[in-house]
Structure 1
Amino acid sequence: MFRTPSASLSTRLPTLEVAVQTGPLAASDGALPEDPQKLFQNEINQNITDSGDSLLFGYARLQVTEATAARAGRGFQAFQMLTFMAPSLFGMPLEYRRTSLRAEVQIMNDRGQVIGTYEGIGRSNVRVAMYHGYSQSDAPRLADADALRLALAQIRPQLETDSDTLRMQLLATEPIDQNAIKLEMHEINVSPFPEGIKRSIVSAGL
């Protein structure tokens, strides 16, 4: 579920501290609270930043600004019930779970100043079936994860275009004082970000 495609930037950014605001996705019955954090952290580590660098030169913030979930094809269920679920043997779905979302990624310098903002849209369509699809319990979570993964895939080429400039701007400042940052694995209110945004802090390879 958390597999990230390998599509590294040609010019990787220095290591960034990761922050996530799930916004409307937090109300979804699909994604677990930690899912967006894991997906974004994987994307940052695998494709965006220098994985071997222990110094933090800024922040990468993911914000889900819009999210909607829907169920489609539920008429299949009525037909399946009338036929004693026989069509399931031949791959007929019970329904589809779909998620559409809009995500924004901001790159900030060590002072929390935004130096780049990028937006992507993701739309997923997950098949629910007894033998040839996902279960009704797993499909909503997968739909949310797939939609976010697709949105991040749209953002990646935008970062590629600006990667040289972003790297130069990030390295032009001092590394973040890591001793002044309380690294915890739960959501807290922080001051380094503008307006005291709420974030999930991870060790980012420290």
Structure 2
Amino acid sequence: FAHMLYIQYVDSFQVGSSSNESSVSVLVKSYMSQHEICFPFPGLDVDGIYRVSGNLATIQKLRFVVNQEEKLNLDDSQWEDIHVVTGALKMFFRELPEPLFPYCFFEHFVEAIKNQDDSIRIKSIKALVQKLPRSNYDTMKILFKHLKKIAAKESANLMSTQSLGIVFGPTLLRPEKESGSMAVHMLYQNQLVELMLSEYSKIFEAEED
């Protein structure tokens, strides 16, 4: 399983699913395992991982293969550039019909991150995360756990929680309709991802109060 990618791409991730079973996209789950364990080089240490863009043509080719085939071997030499694989993962989240943070939650998360009291802010975000559809929550938890590992290697890859917030904020959280507040929204989008990475254990792992 760790060596192969079993995928139905966007169709495998049903936003708003009410299933009681874990519904993490097979793309995301398989990618995390492959990325963190099976790459023949220290992928988490690569300078600028997720920030540096891979070759777009190769990313598109990977996306096409993923959409057409049930199995994909990421050990294949044509996917050896880690920035191609990370680019494909970012594209997966960008192209979801609705972002990982559903549109109806956007304003609530923005209001939560704006709170100046750290304790209240974390509790508010945790409460919102727990209200997400199961598929969104499961995928979010495994993605943020992975990104937290990336941030832990900041001394090597130069990707801090702030850097990852800048990369993933607008991709994972965005309003259904953009307005003149786009620049302000981007600030909060970035800050939310940064905080959720910094406080991962409190948001995803802490026991209920």
**Larger fraction in helix:** 2
TM-score in terms of structure 2 length: 0.27
**Larger fraction in strand:** 1
Find the structure with the greater CA-based Rg.
Answer: 1
